[in-house]
Structures are given as structure tokens and as C-alpha cells.
Amino acid sequence: MLRTPLLLAVLLAAPAIARTQALAPAAPDPRAPLFVTTSWLSGHAKDANLVLLHVGDPKDYATAHIAGARLVSTQDVSVSDRSAGGLVLEMPSPDTLRAHLAALGISDDSRIILYYAKDWVSPTTRILLTLAWAGLGDRTSMLDGGMGAWTADGHATTAELPAATTGTLAPLKIRNFVVDASYVQSMIGKPGVSIVDARLPAFYEGTQTGGSTAAPHKTGHITGAKSVPFSTVTDESARFRSPAELAELFSKAGIGPHDVIIGYCHLGQQATAMLTAARSLGHPILLYDGSFQDWSARADSPVETGPAKKLP
């Protein structure tokens, strides 16, 4: 929930996107709808309304996956314009997304569980937030630790492919927590709002520049942005860190415990891992979907370099 009238006023400050609203986590335990355990999944594996989605390399999926799981990729639920100046990995139109989700077997009564193979955490969180944007977030969760946790806990995998089914899905009720560059720029320095860069420190600091040779990004980070690299929110076994560990991580980055977090990265994928961690702590979140690819294309978008200011 938004904590104060001031934050609500801040979020509605930009008239162009007055319909945008931060995605607030569920109460009282914000982690509960986001993550399920391997024991939960094992106990619900034969539920009639379960839709299980595997995120990983197609070749690995063909060899081993959790029984009943369908393969899904970020390309299945996004659009990319690869022409000069185009943006990659953007939210599709609601009708396009609805068709793709139904093709995955998702219906109005489906309970959707995502899991990642190996270290495909941020592609999975990108799909998780896309489903939340589609209005399906209250019945979509992620298997914490992914298939690595599943096998480590002694559960079996299979190479057998599930039968294709098409779901019956009503028109999507979009939860629009996606913002654009003008909104982000209007939020720089606003109290109660943290713009957070989820890229690796070298890109944030400006010792390395992202993009491509043909279309390099600007060097540095959005002016005033804080740094929580996507790679730091999970541990060595690809499980999300505990609430206490995440709270310390965000606090040391200078993020207030009730701040609305606007997340960005290179393209809008890595940021979703950080934003999922933020949601698990109770933060309302917004995704700058264009991310630094979009920010870099704008002459008036301010950037700065240098290391993140860490709190003691």
C-alpha cells in the first residue's frame, strides 16, 4: 500500500501517465504470493488448474524439466523493435499478450507457477512482472531456487513434453506500473521515491559502457539513482535472500524502508529481479521499461558517473 498522501501525490504528479500506479505487494506477508517452496509445488503438482512454466534454455528443457511444465521465454511475452532507435523487450499490447498467455494454457482460474533453470533468474522475474502487469499477479508465483532447488530437494524431472492446451482467458485488466523517461526525470530527487539502477556496478559507475558498438549507451547512471545490482538479491544457490539480508542491502544503498522504487537496467530485464526483491520487502514498485536503452537515446536525460554512495 502507499504509505502517505504525499507518496500518492508524487505518483500522480505526471499528467501524461496519471493512470500509472505503483504495484503494491500483498499484506501482511509480501513474500507469500511471490514465492512458493518445492514442498508446496510437490503437493500441488496435480492440481487441475495449475499452469507450470519453465524458463531456460530450450535444449536443457527438452532433456529435463519438472513434469507438466511448458517452456516459456521473455520473447513470448514481450515485443522488440530492432530498427535504429527501437526499444527491445517492451510490454506488448494487452490483446497480443492475452493471446500468448492463452496459448500457454493459462485460463481465468489458473494458478501459475514460474521456475527457472540454472541461473535464469531475471528472465523469470521479467515474466513474473509481465503477468502482474496483465492483472494476473495475485495468482502467479515463482518457485524460489528454481529447478536447482527442486532437484536438490530430491524431486524428479522428466523429458516428457506435456500435451498442448489452449486456455480460456478474459480480456486482461492491466495493472499499469510501467513508467516512461519523462516520468522518471520528474521523480529525480523526490522524497519517498528511489530510482534504482539494477545493472552491475561497472555500468553504474561508468567504468564500462553498455549498449552496442553501433548504438552505445550513455556512460554512467541516471542522475540521483541508487545502486542495487540484480546479482546481489539472490544467493549462491539462486534463492532470493532472506528479508533481513535484503532489507540491509536496500538500506545500505540509501533506500528508505517505505520508498516507492522505480527500477531500471539496460533493457528492462535485470531490474525485475531487483524489483521482485523490493516487492518482497513491501516496497511499491514501478518499472522503467525503456530503461537505459531509452534514457541514453534522449539528449536531455541527465547522467552522472562515480561509485554508489553506501550508507554505513
Q: Match 554508489 to its residue by C-alpha cell.
A: 308
DSSP tag of 115: E
What top-level class would CATH report for the domain 5-23+177-304?
alpha beta
Domain ranges for the chain, please list them. Answer: 5-23+177-304, 35-152
Element (H, E) at 291: helix 291-296
Tell me the C-alpha distance between 255 and 248, whole Å: 10
Q: What is the pLDDT along the chain (312 residues), one digit of tens a residue?
A: 344 444 444 454 433 334 789 999 887 889 988 999 999 999 999 999 999 999 999 999 999 999 999 999 999 999 999 887 789 999 999 999 999 999 999 999 999 999 999 999 999 999 999 999 999 999 999 999 999 999 999 999 999 999 999 999 999 999 999 999 999 999 999 999 999 999 999 999 999 999 998 889 999 999 999 999 999 999 999 999 999 999 999 999 999 999 999 999 999 999 999 999 999 999 999 999 999 999 999 999 999 999 987 776
Query: Which helix (H) or strand (E) is 99 found in, with range?
Result: helix 94-103
The position carrying cell 514501478 is 286
CATH topology match: 5-23+177-304 vs 35-152: yes
Spatial separation of the C-alpha atoms in residues 170 and 153, rounded to whole Å: 37
Which CATH number fits the domain 35-152, given the four candidates 3.40.50.970, 3.40.250.10, 3.30.70.260, 1.50.10.20? 3.40.250.10
